[in-house]
C-alpha cells in the first residue's frame, strides 16, 4: 500500500486543495475505484468475472467465502480489508479514505453506508481520515450508517436504520439514532 494511504489510515490531516499527493494519488484511486465499481455492478454476480472484478476493486484476493451483493459504491478500494465469510448486501456505499476493516464472519445488511473521513468545520478543504473496524461476527442491520472512527466489537449487532456515532462493545446490541446499547448478547449465543 502506498505510504500516503498508510498515513491517511493513521489520521494524518490533509489539505485537499494544496496537497499534491491528494491531487494525484487520491484522485487516481477515486477514478480507479469508480471504474471498478461500475464494471462490477454490470457483471453477473454468479460469474467468475465478478470474482475477478471484486479482486480488482480491492487490489487483492477476496476469499471465496466472502461476497458483496451488487450494486456497491466504494471510493478508495485500496483502503478496505475484508475477512473470510463476510457478506455485504446490495446498496453498500463507502468512503474508505481513512480505512475500513471488516473482520471474518461479519454481515452487513443492504443499504449500509460507512464514512471514514471528516472535514474540518472551519475549513471544509481540510480533511482527516478516521478508520472504521467491524469486528468478527458482527451483524450490521439494513440501512445503517457508520461514521468515521467507530469500532464495532466482535459479535455486536446494530439494529436496522441506526446511526453509529460511537464505539459499540463486543456482543452489544445497539439501536437508534444515535445508536445506543440496549442489551448485551450472552457469550453462548456467539
Query: In this structure, what C-alpha cell is assigned to residue 36?
Result: 471498478
Q: Is 166 a catalytic residue?
A: no
Q: In the beta sheet, which residues pair with residue 158?
A: 140, 174
- What is the strand order of the sheet 80-82 is part of? 80-82, 100-102, 132-134, 151-152
Sheet architecture: strand order including 123-129: 13-15, 123-129, 117-120
The single-letter DSSP state of residue 3 is H
Contact 106, 86 (CB under 8 A): yes
What is residue 178's three-state secondary structure? coil
- Of 18, 42, 84, 119, catalytic: 119
Active site residues per annotation: 119
Amino acid at each position: 500500500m502506498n505510504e500516503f494511504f498508510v498515513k491517511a489510515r493513521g489520521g494524518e490531516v490533509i489539505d485537499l486543495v494544496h496537497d499534491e499527493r491528494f491531487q494525484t494519488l487520491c484522485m487516481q484511486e477515486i477514478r480507479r475505484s469508480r471504474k471498478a465499481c461500475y464494471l462490477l455492478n454490470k457483471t453477473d454476480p454468479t460469474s467468475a468475472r465478478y470474482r475477478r472484478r471484486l479482486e480488482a476493486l480491492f487490489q487483492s484476493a477476496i476469499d471465496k467465502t466472502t461476497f458483496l451483493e451488487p450494486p456497491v459504491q466504494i471510493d478508495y478500494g485500496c483502503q478496505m480489508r475484508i475477512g473470510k465469510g463476510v457478506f455485504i448486501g446490495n446498496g453498500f456505499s463507502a468512503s474508505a479514505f481513512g480505512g475500513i476493516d471488516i473482520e471474518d464472519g461479519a454481515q452487513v445488511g443492504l443499504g449500509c453506508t460507512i464514512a471514514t473521513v471528516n472535514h474540518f468545520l472551519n475549513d471544509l478543504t481540510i480533511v482527516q481520515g478516521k478508520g472504521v473496524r467491524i469486528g468478527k461476527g458482527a451483524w450490521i442491520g439494513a440501512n445503517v450508517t457508520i461514521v468515521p472512527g467507530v469500532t464495532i466489537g466482535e459479535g455486536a449487532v446494530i439494529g436496522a436504520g441506526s446511526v453509529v456515532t460511537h464505539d459499540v462493545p463486543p456482543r452489544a446490541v445497539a439501536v437508534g439514532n444515535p445508536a445506543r446499547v440496549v442489551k448485551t448478547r450472552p457469550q453462548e449465543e456467539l
